[in-house]
Amino acid sequence: MKQFILIISLLTVISKSILAQAPYKLPDLGYAYNALEPYIDSTTMYIHLNKHHNAYVNNLNNALKGTNGENLKITELLAEISKYSDAIRNNAGGHYNHSLFWTILTPKKNTAPDKELMEAINTSFTSLDSLRTLMNKAASMRFGSGWAWLYIDQNKKLAVGSSPNQDNPLMDASPIHGTPILGIDVWEHAYYLKYQNRRGDYLSAIWNVINWEEVTRRYHEVIPKAKGKFDDWPEIISFHEVLASTFHPAEEGDFSAIRNRSGELSSKASALATSKIPAQFNKKEVIDVLSKLSSTTKALDKLVHKKSSDKTLMKSLTAVHDSFHQIVERCK
Ligand code: MN3
């Protein structure tokens, strides 16, 4: 019986954490309090999490008691926050915003947006630098306490804006609407110990610890990652990797890669010829070239074993390369 109760309470804990419903809990930072130094100091991080954020969590849990909001996911609650008290609005925002904030900071150096997010940034703001400038402008113009946001608006485009207090773009009551993917806390408690009144210095420093991998992950929760053409056909990707790293050096006169890897290339071609072809490419004209690729690659491997001249190898390797591009062409 005891074990049964334990399992039931475990399941309750698990389902609550997945749904992110009341009662809410203070999250872990995922890094040490001093990990963001010298940009954000250890004491600020400690107080910010354990005093400020913790108060939002406790106040939110108390304010929600007995309201319908107890049964909603936090995002659902924020979407209809205008129906609730100011206490719920401020503390639900406080909990959501800080939970996001800890994840978009990192001690890891040189994180970067992925290619798709970078293209979206370039399209909307011309460059990452101008995005930073716009964010800092939004953050420094926010009078009093609030947040600056990079968010995905209702047309699925990136936008920059700011909100007062603990509001955010997920709230129906907010002047800006969408899904936040990067938020900068511009409450004085976020920077006063180290920067005092110099909000601008804090805003310049924080870009050193922005976690672009997490911002990218949040971006793709709304904008699905574009599927690569051959994502479902690992054998063709694997063949192409070896081909690219042997053909291009040979073009520049370096035949050592192909002399070392012709056997590997040949076995990748056989694996490709016998692989499960994704339905959209499974047609006779593709299959014909697959077997041609396999035989041209085998012939190349034989020539390598016979220690043929560079010129002979280049001719054979070019035939392999041509067959490969015929496959790609026919897969259009
Ligand atoms: Mn704060």
CA of 15 to the centre of ligand 1 (A): 28
| Cα distances (angstroms) measured from residue 266 to each of 43, 241, 309, 326 | 60, 13, 19, 17
Domain assignment present for 2: no
Same domain, residue pair 242 and 212: no
Q: How far is the CA of 136 from the centre of ligand 1 (A)?
A: 17
Percent of the chain scoring above 90 in pLDDT? 89
Same domain, 185 and 240: no
**Is residue 212 domain-shared with residue 240, that is, in the same domain?**
no
Co-location of 222 and 239 in the same domain: no
**Contacts for 159 with CB less than 8 Å, ≥ 6 apart:** 124, 150, 151, 152, 153, 176, 178
Q: Provide the pairing of β-strand 158-164 with 178-185.
A: unpaired
Amino acid at residue number 108: K
Looking at residue 122, its pLDDT comes to: 98
* 256 and 195 co-located in one domain: no
Is residue 278 one of the residues assigned to a domain? yes
Question: Given a cut of 70, is residue 288 above it in pLDDT?
Answer: yes
Mean pLDDT within 169-191: 96
Shared-domain flag, residues 196 and 321: no
- Residues paired with residue 151 on neighbouring β-strands, in sequence order: 159, 180
Residues 192 and 295 in one domain: no
Domain boundary among 226, 254, 271: 226
- For 35, which DSSP code? T
Residue 214 and residue 304 in one domain: no
CA atoms lying within 13 Å on the CB side of residue 36: 29
Q: If you measure from the C-alpha of residue 57 to the centroid of ligand 1, how many angstroms do you get, rounded to a whole number?
A: 12
- Distance from the alpha carbon of residue 53 to the mean position of ligand 1, in angstroms: 7
Q: Find the 245 Cα to ligand 1 centroid distance in Å.
A: 49
- C-alpha of residue 297 to centroid of ligand 1, in Å: 61
Task: Give every CB contact of residue 225 below 8 A, 6+ residues apart in sequence.
Answer: 116
User: Please, are residues 234 and 271 in contact by the beta-carbon 8 Å criterion?
Assistant: no
**Residue 42 within a domain:** yes
CA of 122 to the centre of ligand 1 (A): 29
**Has residue 8 got a pLDDT over 70?**
no
- Sequence-distant (6+) residues with CB within 8 A of 149 are 138, 160, 161, 162, 163, 168, 169, 176, 180, 182, 183, 184
Residue 26 has pLDDT above 90, yes or no: yes
Structural domain span for residue 256: 234-330
Q: What is the distance in A from the centroid of ligand 1 to the CA of 155?
A: 29
What is the whole-number distance in angstroms between the Cα of residue 135 and the centre of ligand 1?
17
Alpha carbon of 48 to ligand 1 centroid (Å)? 6
What mean pLDDT is reported for the chain?
Answer: 93
Q: Measured in angstroms, how far is the CA atom of residue 223 from the centroid of ligand 1?
A: 28
Residue 220 is given by DSSP the state: H
Q: State pLDDT tens for residues 65-75.
A: 999 999 999 99
In a domain, 18, yes or no: no
Task: Determine the average pLDDT of the residues in 192-214.
Answer: 96
What's the rounded Cα separation, in Å, for the pair 107 and 114? 19
Higher pLDDT, 143 or 120: 120
- For residue 168, the CA-to-ligand 1 centroid distance in Å is 13
**How many domains is the chain built from?**
2
From the CA of 182, how far away is ligand 1's center (Å)?
Answer: 14
Query: What was the pLDDT predicted at 115?
Result: 95
Instruction: Assign residue 282 the CATH number of its domain.
Output: 1.20.120
- Does residue 122 fall inside a structural domain? yes
3-state secondary structure 91-102: HHHHHHHHHHHH
Higher pLDDT, 229 or 29: 29
Give yes or no: residues 91 and 123 share one domain: yes
Last residue of a domain, one of 174, 209, 226: 226
Q: What is the pLDDT of residues 191-201, one digit of tens each?
A: 999 999 999 99
**Predicted pLDDT at 3:** 54
Residue 146 Cα to ligand 1 midpoint, Å, equals: 9
**CATH number for the domain harbouring residue 77:** 3.55.40.20
Burial class (CB in 10 A: 0-12, 13-18, 19+), 181: buried
- CA 185 to ligand 1 centroid distance, Å: 6
Distance 133 CA to ligand 1 centre (A): 21
Domain end among 187, 202, 226 = 226
Statement to judge: residues 113 and 139 lie in one domain? yes
243 in the same domain as 210: no
Distance 308 CA to ligand 1 centre (A): 69
Confidence of residue 161 (pLDDT cuts 50, 70, 90): very high
Q: Is residue 141 part of a domain?
A: yes
pLDDT over 50 at 280, yes or no = yes
Q: How far is the CA of 88 from the centre of ligand 1 (A)?
A: 16
Asked if pLDDT for residue 98 goes beyond 80, the answer is yes
Cα end-to-end span (Å), the chain: 61
pLDDT by residue (tens digit) across 238-254? Answer: 999 999 999 999 999 99
- Between the CA of 149 and the centroid of ligand 1 the distance, in Å, is 14
pTM: 0.72
Q: What is the pLDDT of residues 39-50, one digit of tens each?
A: 999 999 999 999
Q: Do 149 and 254 share a domain, yes or no?
A: no
Q: Using CA atoms, how far apart are residues 70 and 193, in angstroms rounded to an integer? A: 35
H helix intervals, 113-172:
115-125, 128-141
In this predicted structure, the answer to whether residue 1 has a pLDDT above a threshold of 90 is: no
Q: Is residue 48 assigned to a domain? A: yes
pLDDT exceeds cutoff 90 at 17: no
Q: How sure is the predictor about 227, in pLDDT bands with cuts at 50, 70 and 90?
A: confident
